[in-house]
Chains A and B, each alone.
Chain A
Amino acid sequence: MEAIAAEGLSKVYRTRVAGRTGVHALTDFSLTVESGQIFGLLGPNGAGKTTFVRTVLSLVRPTSGSARLLGVPLPDVNVRSRTGYLPEQHRYPPHMTGEVALRLFGRLSGATPAILNTRVPSLLAQLGLSEWGRTKIKRYSKGMVQRLGLAQAMLHDPDVLFLDEPTDGLDPVGRKEIRDVLIGLRNEGKTIFLNSHLLSEVELVCDRVAVLDRGKLLRVATVDELTVSGTRYEIGFAGQIPPGFLDETRARVLPVSFGNGVMEVDVHGTDDLNRLIDLMRSHRIAITSIIHRRASLEDSFLKMLKPGEST
């Protein structure tokens, strides 16, 4: 079942600087996210990631196109009782304590006081904020605000969670804890839509990712599809390479490079790899290891963008 669907979504921000042309934040953006996944949306700054989420949540009005959330055509106020949102750089009114904020946003999401009486303390405990519930949020550290943000998004047990930079401001231990929470939610069947600059984080938790650049969708794939697309192998060997082996490899298989007992090769498929192994064995080269080098998500991401772009 589809959790999020966008068809031909475009958003042009009219600005005084840009005049009539405006800024094209999203251009003909179509995407489907199935339920029960952790889906990552990647892109450089200004790619349109946040605009997409805000459009789906009706905080931004699309210039054209349509979207559905849990099968409901947007805009629809009521469907938001089944979604949670952690905005990037969210802030709370200064008079609020953590507990007050959770109770208010819980009630605005439609949760009854009875549900909140059990849900609020349990979420504060789950996110390590039990002792801080009655403290004003203005006294919280950035990491604590981030945890509270996650708590308010999860408060009403939504089916779809939109998280914009959820691990921002957290230390490595905190990040691991948040990852565990997200994986736990996926195992419960929740859909998580993640916007993040931290590609290593995305790689660790996401089932599928989409890459967005200047408002246009470049690719949608699983993390494996993006990272295994590399066909580089590292073959460790012992001893010396016999004379003529390099030339024979170039002629019969593919060019290889050597260094410190490791041979590197980009093959077109496992046939190439097996021919190379056969050739090595025929020259009595002792193979000590064969490692299939995965490209990191960051490598794949950068490769998709034009040179000079960064995350």
Chain B
Amino acid sequence: MRIIALIGDTLRELTGKVTLLILIGISTLFILGTLAAFSARETPEGILLSLFGKEAAAPVPPDRVEAFVFGIQASLSSGLMTGIVLFGVFATAGLIPSVLDRGIVDLYLSRPLARWELILGKSLGAVTAIVLVSLYFLGAIFLVFGLKVGIWNPQILTAAAGIGLVFITVYVLLLFTAVCTGSTPLSIIAAYVYLFVIAGLLQGRESGLFLFSENNVFRSTIDGLYYLLPQIPAMRQSISAWIMHQPAEWVPFLQSIASAGLFFVGSAAILERKDF
């Protein structure tokens, strides 16, 4: 019940954040734009798609329509995931440092509420907000393609859970930095550096970082970091594959969830030792 109260409080707090409103606004514009600009017409050769009234050079053959639509949906979801993580980190980064501020934290922790419950509730609130925004966008895309092309792809809806998982793994890095430093800007920087620099380097370590050294200790360390830290690019590929009804790798999700759990436990342990 206390965790649910904290989730509700966090959702209420986030609805007042401009960043999240911008994300919802952009999503709405994108949905409306897709709805208005995209159309499909059946022809004897297949389905002829048009964008802003301009028809494609050739119709998509009937046996390839589904794969074609799934591909568009996967691209849109991938774009959404980038937007969600980019804006989501920005919108939610202040949640933990602000609740741990002296004068506010006292009001929370003087209740029968463990410290780990406080950060769990706030984190779940942030993730719930992101999943809801994802569902809003993906649900709309599901409807647009269902109504206009007649192809209903329920897997695009379940991709919201995947995006939620990706966000969890990013959020725990942010949480860890916030608990250690109490700083919102540093938390954002840490999350972005990981997302845009470290994650990519680790993912492509064999064709990149390993070229710099053949030292086994170096390579083992890099490998260790790869398996210890969330595997964002791999999860992203898996979500796209899932939407396109192709075989998806679940191991990166499991590893990333384990990594998130480790970072959460670390954050809770550090928080437990803090004086307020």
Contact = CB atoms under 8 A, between A and B. Distances in A.
A85 B13 contact: no
A77 B112 contact: yes
Interface residues on A, range: 20 to 34
Contacts, number: 81
Interface string B249-276: 0000000000000000000000001011
Given A59-B275, A93-B99, A104 B110 contact: no
A162 B110 CA distance: 10
Interface in B1-41: 1-2, 5-6, 8-9, 12-13, 15-16
Interface string A89-101: 1111111000010
Contacts of B2: 107-108, 110
Interface stretch (B101-109, B130-138, B196-204, B209-217): B101-109
B104 A93 contact: yes
B64 interface: no
Contacts of B158: none
Given A77-B114, A105-B111, A54 B276 contact: yes
Interface residues on B, range: 20 to 34
B110 A85 contact: yes
B6 A108 contact: yes
Interface in A58-96: 58-61, 77-81, 83-85, 87, 89-95
A78 B112 contact: yes
Contacts of B16: 94-95
Contact of A108 (B15, B103, B113, B275): B113
B112 A81 contact: yes
Given A60-B275, A108-B108, A87 B103 contact: yes
Contacts of B101: 91
A89 B275 contact: no
A287 B225 CA distance: 92
Given A107-B2, A107-B5, A58 B109 contact: yes
B111 A109 contact: yes
B98 interface: yes
Contacts of B110: 57, 59, 80, 83-85, 87, 162
B107 A59 contact: no
Contacts of A140: none
A105 B107 contact: yes
Contacts of A13: 275
A201 B153 CA distance: 70
Contacts of A227: none
A109 to B, nearest CB: 5
A10 interface: no
A146 interface: no
Nearest to A62: B275
Contact of A60 (B1, B9, B111, B276): B276
A191 interface: no
B273 A80 contact: no
Nearest to B274: A61
Contacts of A37: none
Task: Select the residue from A54, A61, A94, A108 with max chain B CB neighbours within 10 A.
Answer: A108
A59 B113 CA distance: 11
A167 interface: no
A110 B103 CA distance: 21
A91 B104 contact: yes
Given A54-B106, A59-B110, 16 more contacts: A59-B105, A59-B275, A85-B106, A87-B103, A87-B107, A87-B110, A93-B9, A93-B99, A93-B104, A95-B13, A104-B8, A105-B108, A107-B2, A108-B6, A109-B111, A162-B110
Interface of A: 13, 54, 57-61, 77-81, 83-85, 87, 89-95, 100, 104-105, 107-110, 152, 162
Closest 7 CB pairs of A and B: A85-B110, A87-B106, A107-B5, A91-B103, A108-B111, A81-B112, A59-B276
Interface of B: 1-2, 5-6, 8-9, 12-13, 15-16, 98-99, 101, 103-114, 273, 275-276
